[in-house]
Structure 1
Amino acid sequence: MARAQEAGHDVVVTENREACGPFLVVCEHASNRFPAAFGTLGLSPQARSAHIAWDPGALGVARRLAGLLDAPLVAAGVSRLVYDLNRPPHSAGAMTARSEDYDIPGNLRLGADERLRRTEAIYLPFHAHLRAEIARRLAAGLPPVIVAVHSFTPVWFGTPRAVEFGVIHDADPALALAVVAEAKARTRLDCRLNEPYSAADEVTHTLRLQATPYGLANVMLEIRNDLIATPEAEAAMAATLAPVLEAALAAADAPQMKKASH
């Protein structure tokens, strides 16, 4: 069994680092922690536990997928309201002043110095750490398949969302298309391609930064969070999606599958 390891800084946590399967699981919105150095951003405890601060259920599913797939997991340790690790530093969404129907007082009128402080403290360490994990596996002859795990709300500005499982791609759609096909064949989930978000919504930064330059197969999974609201539901969803991902990788005939083995 692979050892769980934690990075020397608290903005990123790595687990199953010694895993040898073909996948590498990423969870950029895993945490709703607000480090003392950045305060609460003027938000109530209720707001800091809401979906605006993190992706509820995503870390639980990501951890279980990593275990089932014999994959390492790289997860965020800081709320996305302090810095959204799936956004580049020049994006307004990286330190958003408003999320859904919440104003974020601590992010209003941020100056360049504060944006740089957060970028250096959170964004750069996280993505450097993820890139290092990818490089280690490349050097070992195990080019990883990048799977980013997210969750989304069942209601968006008063409108219910029917989609239960969204599969998002950036430049390369091959693995995403295979995941959709396998999910429709193997599960009862309402699975849709590029819903409820797509690359046009600037949600594929991690894939574009970390996977595309190396030519790595990649996909972003979006799970409706009412379906993963308990630890039992997280485990059940991971058990459903793990064979979907394995079959999709085989169907997509990704180069990683030829080079990596358990």
Structure 2
Amino acid sequence: MMKGMHAPLLGPHECPPVVGVCIAGAGRLCFVCEHAGQAIPERLDGLGLQETALNSHIAWDIGAYAVAEALSRRFDAPLAAQVYSRLVCDCNRLAEDPDCIPERSEHTTIPGNLALAPVARQARIDAIWTPFQDFVRQLLDARQAQGRLEALIAVHSFTPKYEDVVREMHCGLLFREDRRLADAVGAYLRQVPGLIVAENAPYSLFELQDYTIREHAERRGLPYLLVEIRQDLISTATGQQDWARRLGDAIEGALATLSEKHNPVSR
């Protein structure tokens, strides 16, 4: 049974919903990782799930935070990472979207999310979703005002097999109308022999109710890229370092290419 929800969702000793890296960095990019962690507020008693489920892909984007952090440090650019499980509250969905607090993920029912009372749902939004969105918004506003914001890059990871469908691509580059950065990064990644780089896969930003890109990039006319990396490739420290280097090289090369074409990413 859930513990009393009249008290604040997060206790004073629990980690804040947002982790910031290189927030004062001199770089002109900004990174976000909405599914960086698998933490569950103590008051939610693990959402009624077994530890195996909480450690699996349904709870977080395995390996994504390590890659995002390495990119942040390489480019000396800020990273905003959300460390609570997306099963508690998915910060890449509208707060009103049922999938923001899902009752089921793939083949797993989430007991702690079933028939959630409005007050309990709002407690999660207030404690996690709103602080994360405010942090990202204020960060981008400040850097844009300073002329130090070139693009927003979201780092995600995906399970190699979903609902019994095997996903063979190694990474996906997701975009909507503005595909400049995706095209330029893709051109560099495809130079790696045998690397399968997909567009708008395993998900499409045209189909998903993705929040970060629409709200924090498109609304302010900011170029962007959402990167998806297959989780088995970044489940170890070595894989994470390899992909951070590979993706970092591609981003660096892409920005240089766009600048040489007199079509800078910045607007």
Instruction: Please report the TM-score for the alignment, with normalisation by the length of structure 1.
Output: 0.90
Question: Structure 1: any 5+ residue segments left out of the alignment?
Answer: 1-7
Contact 1:187 1:240 in 2 (8 A): no
Residues 159-198 of structure 1 aligned to structure 2 (within 5 Å): 159-186=165-192, 188-198=194-204
Contact 1:87–1:202 (CA<8 Å) still a contact in 2? no
The aligned residue for residue 158 of structure 1 is: 164
For 1:24-173, list aligned pairs within 5 A.
Answer: 24-173=30-179
Aligned-pair distance for 1:9? Answer: 6.5
C-alpha distance 109-201 of structure 1, shift in aligned 2 (>3 A): farther
Task: Please say if residues 228 and 237 of structure 1, whose CA atoms lie closer than 8 Å, have aligned partners that are also in contact.
Answer: yes
Q: Does the Cα contact within 8 Å between 1:65 and 1:242 map onto a contact in 2?
A: yes
Tell me by how many angstroms 1:111 deviates. Answer: 2.7
Q: Which runs of 5+ in 2 are unaligned?
A: 1-13
- Sequence identity of aligned pairs in percent? 37
* Farther-moved stretch of structure 1 (57-66 vs 182-191): 182-191
Distance 1:187 1:218 in 2: 26
Tell me the equivalent position of 1:239: 245
Q: Deviations over 1:168-215 (max 9, x none)?
A: 013322211222222113564210100100113425310111111111
Give 1:55 shift: 0.5
The separation in 2 between residues aligned to 1:139 and 1:257, in whole angstroms, is 13
Larger Rg: 2
**Is 2:202 aligned against 1:211?**
no
Aligned counterpart, 2:16: 10
Query: Paired residues, what number?
Result: 251
Conserved? CA contact 2:173–2:186, under 8 Å: yes
* Amino acid in structure 2 at the alignment position of 1:155: K
Q: CA deviation at 1:157?
A: 1.7
Query: For residue 105 of structure 2, what is the amino acid of its counterpart?
Result: S
Q: How far, CA to CA, are the matches of 1:200 and 1:101 in structure 2?
A: 24
Deviation, 1:112, is 2.2
Measure the CA separation in 2 of the matches of 1:187 and 1:194. Answer: 21
- Residue pair 1:169, 1:220 contacting (<8 A) in 2 also: yes
The residue matched to 1:37 in structure 2 has which SS?
helix
